[in-house]
Amino acid sequence: MNLILQGLNTDRPTIERIAGMADTQRVVPIAAHAFRCEGVRYTDALKERIDAECLAAKLDYAFVEPGRKLSDFKLVTMDMDSTLITIECIDEIADMQGLKPQVAEITEAAMRGEIEFCESLTRRVALLKGLDASALQRVYDERLALSPGAENMLGAVKAAGLKTLLVSGGFTFFTDRIKTRLGMDYTHSNELEIVDGKLTGRVLGGIVDGDEKKNTVERVCAELGISPKQSIVMGDGANDLKMMRVAGMSVAFRAKPVVRAQADVALNFVGLDGILALFD
């Protein structure tokens, strides 16, 4: 087994110390701030120790099977809000109404798994009733930013022949624009109802919740003629867990504790392109 260690700032003594804890046979630099510790014997106890040490040192880690290549996968699926992008769009839309604290509180509770996603989205969208639809463009233009490493990661996965899917409990206004901007293959999200240029406080059709996210991953995999185990799924909130469980590799990005605990890989410090260090 290999242990991958990476961070925004790494020093060799810290890497060597953590590698020694894992009885590493060899430490190989694989990028500017990433190292592969080879010949590690994995145990749950070792993982617990490495987890604590890496958190203290602000390093990300992953135990991976040697020889695994990015091209072994065929699809990368990403959540949008707080994963592919740095913001929660609905919170920023609410800010245009002076309601960001109320909406953000519901958002956080949903991401922690304390409120069912459908209920939380219905409650949050209802608070937006009467807002001029031009606020959506303002959020996109003024506040939406890609997460660190997003474009580098997408460039690498496309070069390796993987398809890309953006599936979100957010809104089509944003996913459609990101799809065009980044050249993604598939998107699926919620559509806000707009009448006479104003938000009605409702969404059109069914809500894209955790079940629908999982179903979307499985549906796209079926269209591609692949198994969900040939997909990588990246997310940050509780509503991402179901689609993460069907994947061949699940990645928690700057995620809530409930998600980090269940993911194969957690990236707490490096960017989305941190997944690239996990493959030979």
Q: Which residues are catalytic?
A: 79, 81
What is the DSSP code (8-state) at residue 261?
T
Single-letter code of the amino acid located at 159: A
Q: Which long-range contacts (CB under 8 A, 24 or more apart) does 151-160 make?
A: 151/182, 152/271, 152/272, 152/273, 152/276, 153/271, 153/272, 153/273, 153/275, 153/276, 154/76, 154/182, 154/183, 154/184, 156/70, 156/273, 156/276, 157/70, 157/76, 158/183, 160/69, 160/70, 160/71
CA distances from 13 to 10, 217, 272, 278 (A): 9, 42, 25, 21
Helix (H) or strand (E) holding 243: helix 241-245
